[in-house]
Amino acid sequence: MATCDAPGQSCRPAATPASPGNRQNHAFHEADGLTGALLASVMAAMEHATAIKQELSNTELSPADIPSFKEAWNRIEPFALTFDGFKYWGSVEKCAEVAHEKRMATLTELRTCLFYEARKWKQAGKTPDMVSLRYIRALVYAIREKVNAGQVR
């Protein structure tokens, strides 16, 4: 049965005593609350991931910022994007030139190569194949070595 305030206004269901259907409805609302908590947790994780993607200059980079070279791609990619090779080199073309030549003498060149790999695979909508992943891991390893040695140029 419904209760209406006045003709032409909205009606609401009348309160009913506790019944199996009401308990089920209550359980559904509790589950909905859990869904809300899960959603909040996912949103917090996304904000954390976004924070990770903020740019880090070579001088700001510490070993704690660098994932292990053994990590999966989904852990390496956010680190790769903490450097913007396009912005650093002034153009996509110059960044691509450094990456294609596989210049690895400096930390900046290593980060450029890693950034370019991340952008390339992101653009393709795929994860790196095994050969590329070996190269990417070697870049991460070399980046860590440069940072540990204080070679931040």
Kindly indicate the confidence band of residue 115, based on its pLDDT and cuts at 50, 70 and 90.
Answer: very high
**Position 19, amino acid:** S
Tens digits of residue pLDDT in 96-108: 999 999 999 999 9
pLDDT surpassing 90 at residue 13: no
Q: Domains of the chain: which residue ranges?
A: 21-52, 63-148
Q: What is the pTM of this model?
A: 0.66
Strand-strand pairing, 2-4 and 11-13: antiparallel
Contacts of 147 (CB under 8 A, 6+ apart): 61, 62, 63, 66, 107
Kindly indicate the confidence band of residue 49, based on its pLDDT and cuts at 50, 70 and 90.
Answer: very low
Q: What pLDDT, on the 0 to 100 scale, is given for residue 39?
A: 52
Q: What pLDDT, on the 0 to 100 scale, is given for residue 89?
A: 98
Report CA Rg, the chain: 26
Q: Which of 5-19, 48-62, 119-133, 137-151 has the lowest mean pLDDT?
A: 5-19
Hey, how many other C-beta atoms are within 10 angstroms of the C-beta on 82? Answer: 20
Kindly indicate the confidence band of residue 84, based on its pLDDT and cuts at 50, 70 and 90.
Answer: very high
